[in-house]
Amino acid sequence: MMRRQGVLTAVVGLGVSMLLNGCSDNSLEDTTVPAPTTETSVTSEPVATSEPPADEAETTTARPELSAEEQDQADIEETLLAFDEALVDALTGQESIEGIYPYSRDTARDQWVTQVMAYDAQGVTFSGVTDMEILEISIEGGTADVVGCRDVSALEAVNSDGESIITDVRLDQSVQDFLLERDASAELGWYVVSDVSRNEPCDG
């Protein structure tokens, strides 16, 4: 199943310079007649070079075509991961809550718009990230029931005084039930219409 991850790598390089100096001094007391010198000029013939032969044929591996059901599953997974990422961006103040609109509607959209507005009004701020793992997908016609595991262990929340509001009873990983509906107007062909936590640990 798909999982959202991020990696940041920084590479720093050092440059080194080198300076070399040389000097010599020769002198002769006796006067000598310089011997005649003969200059010889040698002209080298250009060496013919040839480009390495191009590969006669480049082999490419075509991506296997997905069945209709496999494509639906891939689109559903991508929709849920994009929805969860947009939700976290809204909670942490990086983006507007409208970022979830291309991936959600109805109850799933309304509940989070209301919740984020309430957090803002109360002065609650979030920082960090979440992780979503898709555990099970069941598709029937134009609807899909999905079970996921949402990991919020790296998400912090503080009140207007800067004090954490995370309690000891918070589940770091909890089971989520999602309902999606097929819709051609959706960004990826599906909308999340319901997002409900079971308040159960994922490994329970």
Q: Take residue 125 and report the two structure tokens written for it.
A: 């701020």
Long-range contacts of 139-142 (CB under 8 A, 24+ apart): 139/69, 139/72, 139/73, 139/76, 141/182, 142/181, 142/182
**Do the domain assignments include residue 45?**
no
User: Domains in the chain: how many in total?
Assistant: 1
Give the pLDDT score at 156: 98
Give the pLDDT score at 6: 35
**Do the domain assignments include residue 179?**
yes
CA-based nearest residue to 177, from 153, 127, 143: 143
Stretches in the chain below the pLDDT threshold 70: 1-63, 204
Q: For tokens 């809550």, what's the residue?
A: 97
| Contact criterion met (CB below 8 Å) for 173 and 153 | yes
**Do the domain assignments include residue 42?**
no
**Do the domain assignments include residue 29?**
no
Give the pLDDT score at 64: 75
Find the CATH number of the domain harbouring 153.
3.10.450.50
Neighbour count for residue 5 (Cβ, 10 Å): 7
**Do the domain assignments include residue 59?**
no
**Do the domain assignments include residue 84?**
yes
**Do the domain assignments include residue 166?**
yes
Residue 78, domain extent:
69-201
| Contact criterion met (CB below 8 Å) for 98 and 87 | no
AA identity, residue 118: A
Give the pLDDT score at 66: 86
**Do the domain assignments include residue 190?**
yes
